[in-house]
Chain A
């Protein structure tokens, strides 16, 4: 019994020390007379599951940048003198701005949790898109349909990261990451997806029949005021 208590005490000491890398490193560093001989102190902001999801978050940032540029191209197409749809231009420009700022916010978040950014990483699926020549010069309804699909993919990627952070093992469970993803991304995604889906519903009925060209003109006017 005594031996067990000693064992438990030893373990708890070991545990306490394990949680105090930074302090022990600092104590050691402060005792060393020669500053140059000290190894770097282990005082990072890292805790929880950030190491496990860091790569996923980095990819997520890069996907945001790629989508932001694609939305910018779609917006550009609607702004040429032949298309001349300022409402659609504004809609896609807004999506481009939004994904751009979300990417910056996400980089800041990664570094808040002690991680760093890697601009090289993209997922296999996104990498595969490069083999086909992409087309972002689309007609109105097709463009909104594409944006809806794109934004759903972004939303589902956040879900995936969320589940990764919330994997209920002592190693991985990190509700701070999940909560951040919910607050900063998921609800926003929900609103954008709902809006775009609503637009496809409208256009799907407005574009039937001979008045479709006039409908598009009026719908564009509506989008300008949105």
Chain B
């Protein structure tokens, strides 16, 4: 009798199991030998993703400011909204890199935190915003250099050649080109505004729409 109950129970159990939704699947045993990024470097990279998104939201605030009817600088707004989406793309590129190296298998939920609210939200002029943008880019460049320093040697003495090359050749390259472009814009605009303040900014703004 006992065995009969057991058999019934077993049959029912398997029948139910077959009907059950299988939402979760087991973790596969993939060799770990290829995972060669070191923790301090990974942490720095995770931090940089957050920094890029912070920059994105700061540019977003600039775009919002210059879109206002009482400011009315659509060219500046376009420039800054595009910069915001570019910064988000930088964050996504860093994420993709870490994924390619076998990272981000855990603590993904903590990767982006809710502290991205832009600090500055209004500017006295277009040239003031361009100068802030240049300062922002310079600080991002410095932070990328900090990532490189940690990933190249400190503090584990492990040189992550490939990542350092990627950050140097790809990210720093874009930073320096972008900074040069902003610096040039600041110069042109400030010279135009020296004698023709309002007209200078008006014309420069329309030029940015092209």
Contact = CB atoms under 8 A, between A and B. Distances in A.
Interface in B63-95: 63-65, 67-70, 77, 81, 84-85, 88, 92, 95
A45 B67 CA distance: 12
Contact of A44 (B18, B69, B116, B121): B69
A129 to B, nearest CB: 9
Contacts of A212: 21-22, 25
B103 to A, nearest CB: 8
Sort A-B residue pairs by CB-CB distance and give the 9 closest, nearest first: A212-B22, A117-B64, A111-B67, A45-B69, A69-B112, A136-B109, A80-B105, A77-B108, A119-B117
Interface string A130-159: 100111110111100000000000000000
Given A77-B108, A119-B117, A104 B22 contact: no
Interface residues of A, number: 44
Given A44-B70, A111-B69, A213-B25, A65 B105 contact: no
Contacts of B118: 119
B27 interface: yes
Contacts of A111: 64, 67-69
Contacts of A76: 95, 99, 104, 108, 111
Interface string B170-209: 0000000000000000000000000000000000000000
Nearest to B111: A73
A206 B92 CA distance: 32
B152 to A, nearest CB: 25
Interface residues of B, number: 45
> Considering residues B18, B68, B77, which has the most beta carbons from chain A within 10 angstroms of its beta carbon?
B68
> Considering residues B18, B61, B85, B109, which has the most beta carbons from chain A within 10 angstroms of its beta carbon?
B109
Nearest to B117: A119
Interface of B: 18-25, 27-28, 30, 53, 57, 60-61, 63-65, 67-70, 77, 81, 84-85, 88, 92, 95-96, 99, 102-106, 108-109, 111-112, 114, 116-118, 121
B85 A82 contact: no
29 contacts: A66-B114, A69-B116, A73-B109, A77-B108, A79-B104, A80-B105, A80-B108, A82-B30, A100-B85, A107-B60, A108-B67, A108-B77, A108-B81, A111-B64, A116-B64, A116-B65, A117-B61, A117-B65, A119-B57, A119-B60, A119-B117, A139-B24, A140-B23, A207-B21, A208-B22, A212-B22, A213-B22, A213-B25, A216-B25
